[in-house]
Amino acid sequence: MNFTNQDAIQHIPQLQNIACELGSLGVIEVSGEDSHKLLQGQLTCDMNLIDDTQASLGGLCSVKGRLHSVFYIMKFEQSYLLLLPKDNLSHVLETLTKYAAFFQVELTDASIDYELWGHTQKAPGNHSAELEVLSVTNHGGIYDLHLNSLFNASILISRKERASELVSMLAGTTLADKNAWDYIELQAHIPMFSQSSIEKHLPHSVGLHQIGGVSFDKGCYTGQEIVARMHYRGKLKTHAVLVASDSEVEFQELDKVYNDDDKKAGELIRTTIFDHKTYALISLNDSALEESLKIGDDKVPATLLK
């Protein structure tokens, strides 16, 4: 799905050849001969599609179909890595561990063992912000997880002992802050959220199915019945959309979104401040797509990015 908008295109020049240390992301390492089987029965994505050259976004749901977290998942050597916000990590690790008792698998918080950087190269000029198949390239132990072509953005991952080699690959780039990387992820509609939003969202309401993070063909996983029912019965009346405010505002996750009549029309998924504006991925009722939107208790005006 193509999420390209003029705001993103205008920011391409300043977001080329940048690097950002992703210290806010943690790593859960899943290893052992049953790791694939465990994850296939728990995650929204299809583990059969993940190999040495392809990664995915995915989610972990409760039995009621509510998301514990959203993450990147990839193969790294003989293990699987889940890359997710650090403040969600212990909860996700504890939740997965409950299901791991009957599997030959080891689940660990391996955040201190890995180096993670976001970076961009010169954009190819095709102006596509859609999240493509997440391709993976192994540069001799330094893995490149490619996100999309609009900003030519990737996440570089290595074991901590190879950190100096990873950083040397970033020579010639400009160091950027986390907000710049958050903006890039927001433009790709990646719905990463923090601890405050655990079990508050359905996969559909954050748009996870629109970016390849939900498989409707893989079979059963925890929460699958609820997720599938929403999909096949067409009951979904909300979608994830990107909005911007012309001022710098400290929005919070789950802030309410209001329509013309000051009635709730959605809620905020994630947000960042970048280039003197505030951007937010929101879950919005379809009926409010053509209305004037306001966010939070102060009802700050926000514009849908098209």
Q: Which of 237, 183, 186 is nearest to 211 (CA)?
A: 186
Which pLDDT tens digit goes with each residue over 132-142?
579 999 999 99
* Contact assessment for residue 179 and residue 14, using Cβ atoms and an 8 Å cutoff: no
pTM attached to this predicted model: 0.95
Q: What pLDDT shows up at residue 232?
A: 76
Mark whether 32 and 177 lie in a shared domain. yes
Residue 185 phi/psi, 5° resolution? Answer: -65, -40
Mark whether 110 and 31 lie in a shared domain. yes
Q: How far is CA 234 from the centre of its chain?
A: 24
Integer Cα distance of 238 and 204 in angstroms: 8
Find the domain containing 155 and state its range. Answer: 6-187
Residue 1 resides in a domain: no
CATH of the domain at 201: 2.40.30.160
Which whole number is the average pLDDT over 259-264?
94
Q: What pLDDT shows up at residue 1?
A: 64
Integer Cα distance of 280 and 241 in angstroms: 8
Residue 36 has pLDDT above 90, yes or no: yes
Which whole number is the average pLDDT over 43-67?
97
Which whole number is the average pLDDT over 10-21?
95
Q: What pLDDT shows up at residue 127?
A: 59
Residue 266 resides in a domain: yes
Residue 241 has pLDDT above 60, yes or no: yes
Integer Cα distance of 281 and 248 in angstroms: 15
Among residues 161, 187, 213, which one ends one of the domains?
187
Integer Cα distance of 177 and 279 in angstroms: 15
Q: Which of 6, 274, 301, 291 is nearest to 127 (CA)?
A: 6
Q: What pLDDT shows up at residue 83?
A: 99
Task: List the end-to-end C-alpha distance of the chain, in Å, as a whole number.
Answer: 13
Mark whether 162 and 255 lie in a shared domain. no
Enclosing H/E stretch for 86 = helix 86-99
Q: What pLDDT shows up at residue 230?
A: 80
Which whole number is the average pLDDT over 102-110?
97
Q: What pLDDT shows up at residue 215?
A: 95
Mark whether 205 and 183 lie in a shared domain. no
Q: What pLDDT shows up at residue 214?
A: 96
Integer Cα distance of 112 and 124 in angstroms: 34
Mark whether 48 and 127 lie in a shared domain. yes
CATH of the domain at 166: 3.30.1360.120
Residue 172 has pLDDT above 90, yes or no: yes
SS3 105: coil
* Contact assessment for residue 287 and residue 274, using Cβ atoms and an 8 Å cutoff: no
Mark whether 183 and 141 lie in a shared domain. yes
Q: What pLDDT shows up at residue 291?
A: 93
SS3 52: coil
Which whole number is the average pLDDT over 160-185?
96
Mark whether 202 and 183 lie in a shared domain. no
Q: Which of 90, 269, 266, 292 is nearest to 193 (CA)?
A: 269
Q: What pLDDT shows up at residue 306?
A: 82
Residue 129 has pLDDT above 60, yes or no: no
Which whole number is the average pLDDT over 12-21?
95
Which pLDDT tens digit goes with each residue over 246-256?
999 999 999 99
Number of domains in the chain: 2
Residue 122: pLDDT band (50, 70, 90) is confident
Q: What pLDDT shows up at residue 54?
A: 96
Mark whether 39 and 165 lie in a shared domain. yes
Residue 4: pLDDT band (50, 70, 90) is confident
